[in-house]
Amino acid sequence: MNQTIDTELWRPIELSIALAFITTALLLILGAPLAWWLARSKVWWKEAVATLVAMPLVLPPTVLGFYLLIALGPNGPGGYIASLWGGRTLAFSFPGLVIGSLLYSMPFVVQPIRNAFEAIGDRPLEVAATLRATPWQSFWRVAAPLARPGFMTGAILGFAHTLGEFGVVLMIGGNIPDQTRVLSIAIFDYVETSQWALAHMLAAGMVIFAFIVIFSMMIIEKNVSGSRE
């Protein structure tokens, strides 16, 4: 009985951690170039792109989840993609959760990195240019190291937000054991079925995790402020 409970508790945790790691890694890969462009570009419409990136911050999760459900469903682009390997839909699947998490957690990664790039200013890049550094070299040898606190903040926020998301996950993933039943869904399910002890164990773990995340953010911010002084 205890072994069954342990498996039942650990599987959503493992699934949530896998989802958060994959989402955060992809967001750092995709978000860094976008943040760099938003920070350095002079085109007038870049703020329209920044607005689209930031919209998940104010949109109700059910609204984003609803449109993602349509897009990932059998009649949307997700259905076409799934058909390439014989599937019917990306909704209610782990790949669908990854796509939804990428969109919903994007502003939590892109914005800190953009702020870090903007804080660098033009001077370090101008010096690099005088030393005949290519734009690629300037980015990796100058901009990226100086923006490291932004990358760390974005990674922490992206991971934490993905781990705790509920609304979008419920809309596009449902509650399928071993596939889409992540931590937040498991807690909701335990509460609905009056399994208070199991819900408490998972919820308490999330509270501790949230404390660690906020504490880490404060330490990073303090160290950055101290180094600038």
The pLDDT tens digits of the residues spanning 64-119 come to: 999 999 999 888 888 888 888 877 889 899 999 999 999 999 999 999 999 999 98
Residue 30 lies in a domain: yes
Residue 129 lies in a domain: no
Residue 158 lies in a domain: yes
CATH number of the domain bearing residue 174: 1.10.3720.10
Q: Tell me the backbone φ, ψ of residue 97, rounded to 5 degrees.
A: -65, -40
Residue 140 lies in a domain: no
Number of domains in the chain: 1
Answer yes or no: is pLDDT of 202 > 80.
yes
Q: Which residues neighbour 168 within 8 Å (Cβ) at sequence distance 6 or greater?
A: 61, 64, 65, 68, 100, 101, 104
Residue 135 lies in a domain: no
For residues 54 and 23, give the distance between their C-alpha atoms in angstroms, rounded to a whole number. Answer: 17
pLDDT digits (tens, 9 = 90+) for 113-168: 999 999 888 888 888 888 877 878 888 888 888 898 899 889 989 999 998 888 89
Give the residue numbers spanning the domain of 223.
Answer: 2-41+50-121+147-228
Taking the CA atoms of 30, 33, 39 and 43 in sequence, report the sign of the dihedral they define. negative
Residue 126 lies in a domain: no
**pTM of this structure:** 0.87
pLDDT value of residue 5: 52
pLDDT value of residue 1: 46
Residue 77 lies in a domain: yes
Taking the CA atoms of 136, 138, 142 and 147 in sequence, report the sign of the dihedral they define. negative
The Cβ of residue 225 has, within 10 Å, a number of other Cβ atoms equal to 10
Residue 176 lies in a domain: yes
pLDDT value of residue 21: 94
Mean pLDDT of the chain: 87
